Amino acid sequence: MTLHVAGLDAARLAQAYGTPLYITDARRLVENVRRFHAAFQRHWAGPVRVLPAVKAGTAIALLAHLRTVAEGCDLFSEGEYEAALRAGFAPGAVSLNGNGKLADPGFIERLVRDGARITVDDIGELDAIEAAAARAGVTASLRLRMRPDLGDDWTASDFLTECLPVFIASQAYKAGMPTADLLRAGRRILASAHMELTGLHAHFGRHRATVAYWRAAGRATACEIIRCLDAWGGWVPREIDIGGGFAGPGDSVGRQAPRSFAIEALALQALRLLPRQGRERVTAALLRMARRHVPAAQPPAAPPTFDAYAAAMTGELARGIGNRLDLRRTVLEVEPGRAIFTDAGCHLARVLGVKRQERPLPWTWVITDTSTAFLPDANTEKCRFTVRTDPARPATGTEVVDMTGLTCDADRIVGDVRVPAGMAPGDLVVFENTGAYNEQAATNFNSLPRPASILVDDGGPRLIRRRETVADVLARDVASDGASDGASDAASDGAGDGASDGADAGAARG
């Protein structure tokens, strides 16, 4: 038995494409979209559209696969819009969200001219949109993004960067229009000859994975919709978009961080009362004790099913709207990101070395050729990715290690993970459930070239993004004082590195 990813031999993939390597299973991605659509359609009286969040995975080849099962997509920027068009999505099928539209009036002109659906995030966007529509002699198709009040929810948000309860964290998020602006914006659009209000939009984000959280979201959305219907007498939305934020299979947001911060802080304060040697002995003993209880394999979290989410959200939404709308004629749109991308992607890396220490504290680091710079959700969302190693490798027992990267940062990708004892340079490691956001948010920290990306479908693996070169990393630098930046020479020297990735792809199909 050897290490496999997406049904393929990991060693052959590493030989063909190099490491580190992003891998997306197109079959899993497409299946997730189908399951998501089926779940929401079961619980909604009218039509349902699934609009995958492009920000979770922007490769054009990947979007082209999504287009076979999704009627549209959720976008945020001109770059994402261009990628969606190149993948074959129609402008009228997208949802262009976010307040970034204000940064470039030319982009608004393009959206209006193309007939794209614009989700208005800020009342200040309306001047530019109306003027662009008047100049083009068209009617701009608009939806308004609401800020529904989730109520008095003081449970902790899973977004640990906020360290806030859901109520405050959801209010701190900038997106959407405050209710007063929302009602004014609706009245203005309905009075305009150049703008049409087609629907309402809300997005709560992944504060909690629980069904109770999504019931509250459904109630809050319905309440805000009723408020709009009361203010804009006679207006009927053609579509209601409830955004994304749903957890999916393999979700690991927040699992990297300890849940016992307060208790640990008190214990650390108590240790300060001991002399240094005593502190070290007690701490080392506690570490060894804790590591004895690390499981051989930590399964990913098991969030509610797509069906459970759909029943909770749409049930409360429909109850709250009541007979104010004929939901059989109202399109429900959903914009999943993590829910469909997470378990469709993994990351293949190679061990560079293993470092062990006994004093003053026992620690073992497995250093890989990847990094949290390439898997940023390990830091930003405290994701605890599932780690797999080669099952065929001889091992005498197991040990608990920190799986780390190659940058000058702490670069702790997954801490306290149990792996076969005696891992060595050259061993392959798979980080699972990395398919959402990691490649899109990867950086060039330490001037490292970003990894290649492949897509696996029924035809086998194929390169969809080449590996960057050092020349790519330095290409934007502008030379000063007459010195050559060397970009042209370096680009020609390194051109073969990216182009050769995948030359032996056929061998990886075993």
Catalytic positions are 408
Cα 259 to Cα 86, 217, 255: the distances in Å are 44, 25, 8
- DSSP code of residue 460: E
Q: Which amino acid belongs to residue 242?
A: I
Residue with tokens 């990628």: 83
Q: CA 54 to CA 62: how far, in whole Å?
A: 10
SS3 143: strand
| Sign for the pseudo-dihedral over CA of 152, 156, 157, 159 | positive
Half-sphere exposure of 28 (CA within 13 A, CB side): 22
Q: Which amino acid belongs to residue 108?
A: I
Cα 30 to Cα 25, 49, 433, 450, 459: the distances in Å are 9, 14, 16, 26, 15
Residue with tokens 């069904």: 211
How many angstroms separate the first and last alpha carbons of the chain?
A: 13
DSSP string, 385-439: -EEEE-TTS--SSEEEEEEE-SSSS--EEEEEEEEETT--TT-EEEEES--SSHH
CA nearest neighbour of 429 among 410, 406, 463: 406
The answer to whether the CB of 404 falls within 8 A of the CB of 378 is: no
Provide the token pair at 230: 């009361």
Q: SS3 for 203-269, per residue? A: CCCCCCCCHHHHHHHHHHHHHHHHHHHHHCCCCCCCEEECCCCCCCCCCCCCCCCCCCHHHHHHHHH
SS3 350: strand
Phi, psi values for residue 497, rounded to 5°: -60, -45
The answer to whether the CB of 89 falls within 8 A of the CB of 116 is: no
Residue with tokens 């999916």: 248
Cis peptide before 449 (omega within 30 of 0): no
Q: CA 51 to CA 241: how far, in whole Å?
A: 10
The helix (run of H) or strand (run of E) holding residue 74 is: strand 73-75
